[in-house]
Amino acid sequence: MWLYDYDLAVAYRIYPGVSKIPPVFSQDKLKLSEFCLKSFKDSLGNLKVKMIVLLDNCPVEYNELFQKYFSEDDLELIELKGIGNQATFDLQIMALLEQEYSNRVYFAEDDYFYLSDQFKEMITFMDSNDDVDFVSAYDHLDYYNHPIHQHKYETRSTATRKWRTANSTCLTFLTTKKTLSDVQEVLKTYVNGNYDSSMWLALTKFQVSPFNMFKSTEMRKIVFRVWLDSWRQVISGKRFKLWTPLPSIATHMENNCIAPGIDWKNIMAKEALKIDPEWNESDFRLIFKSHMI
């Protein structure tokens, strides 16, 4: 049996632009990046983690940011010349398949905020259950109000939270090298222009009936791409299980998609002051809500 040196290998991709409307540091990507990266480091707790960082057209300050929070031995910094979202996702797949640091692998984007010392619960949940193929840290608000997520799902409880199956998530998730190897061709459909939702539906096999194309324009586009890009997976491939936490372990920093059930505003305010002592609550952007459901 191969003995790995690390508990987790992370491919963390970052670029210097702000693509969404985050609730804090919406006009300063460097501070937003530190805000998210610090929360990620704090969430990892005592896990031994190898960080493979894809810096896409980033100034040197971003290199220094990772060097501030992770030791040199645990860092591999890869500087890229503005290759973009799809190409960096492709590099994440390759980097995590080729690395020999850990069997557990994590795809990370730069705009997620994590709760302190909770990441290891994702690892424990995956290690303890044979039917956990993917784990997301994010209880997406869409699971509660978007028609595509209205379907039967499984639930499972641990000592600290519930978990449930989901049909899709974003591009930040935990899995193993074995599972990643098995699904790499489906993941690469995103690299070639597929929607991330369609990519996930092909793997989880929820909502893939062609009749769903008649429900709405959005469903027509999503389900059409499922069949266009991954029909072999839908027909004969394994049905993989994606699990999400209740309550959430992290939230995407997109103002209208904050994970429900947690007082993020209070938590984020305290952490924002650690990044910038002059920050104040008046800087919360527009429609930020705690989404207490």
- The CATH number linked to 95 is 3.90.550.10
CA pair distance 258, 9, nearest whole angstrom: 26
In this structure, are strands 134-135 and 242-246 parallel, antiparallel, or unpaired? Answer: parallel
Of the candidates 93, 94, 107, the one whose C-alpha atom is nearest the C-alpha of residue 13 is 107
Q: How far apart are the first and last CA of the chain?
A: 45
- In this prediction, residue 287 carries a pLDDT of 55
Q: Can you give the length of the chain in residues?
A: 293
Instruction: Tell me which residue of 104, 102, 64, 63 sits closest to 80, measured CA to CA.
Output: 63
Q: Cα separations (Å) of 221 from 151, 166, 201, 210?
A: 19, 20, 13, 11
Beta carbons of 6 and 121 less than 8 angstroms apart: no
Q: Report if residue 2 sits inside a domain.
A: no
In a domain, 70, yes or no: yes
pLDDT of residue 286: 54
Paired tokens of 56: 């896409």
Does some domain include residue 88?
yes
Q: State how far the Cα of 13 lies from the Cα of 160, in Å rounded to an integer.
A: 30
Centre a 10 Å sphere on the Cβ of residue 177 and count the other Cβ atoms it contains.
19
3-state secondary structure of 71: coil
Whole-angstrom distance, CA of residue 112 vs CA of residue 100: 26
Residues β-bridged to residue 75 = 51
Average pLDDT of every residue of the chain: 94
Q: List the structure tokens of 92.
A: 């994440």
Q: What is the pLDDT of residues 65-108, one digit of tens each?
A: 999 999 999 999 999 999 999 999 999 999 999 999 999 999 99
In a domain, 288, yes or no: no
Q: In the chain, at which residue ranges do the beta strands (DSSP E only) sit?
A: 8-14, 49-56, 75-80, 104-109, 112-114, 134-135, 155-157, 162-166, 173-176, 242-246, 250-252
Per the structure, the count of domains in the chain is 1
Cα radius of gyration (the chain): 19
Instruction: Flag whether pLDDT at 290 surpasses 50.
Output: no
Judged against a pLDDT cut of 90, whether residue 278 lies above it is answered with yes
- Does residue 212 fall inside a structural domain? yes
Burial group, residue 75, by CB count within 10 angstroms (0-12, 13-18, 19+): middle
- The residue range of the domain holding 254 is 8-278
pLDDT in tens, 105-133: 999 999 999 999 999 999 999 999 999 99
Confidence of residue 5 (pLDDT cuts 50, 70, 90): very high
Three-point CA angle 289, 123, 166, nearest 5°: 55
**In DSSP terms, which residues pair with 12 in a beta bridge?**
53, 108
Residue 247, domain member (yes or no):
yes
Residue 291 lies in a domain: no
pLDDT at 273 over 60: yes
* DSSP 8-state symbol, 215: T
Inter-residue contact 244 to 140 (CB < 8 Å): yes
What is the pLDDT at residue 285? 75
**78: how many CB neighbours lie within 10 A of its CB?**
14
pLDDT of residue 288 exceeding 60:
no
Backbone angles phi, psi at 169, to 5 degrees: -150, -165
68 domain-assigned: yes
Per-residue pLDDT for 2 more than 90? no
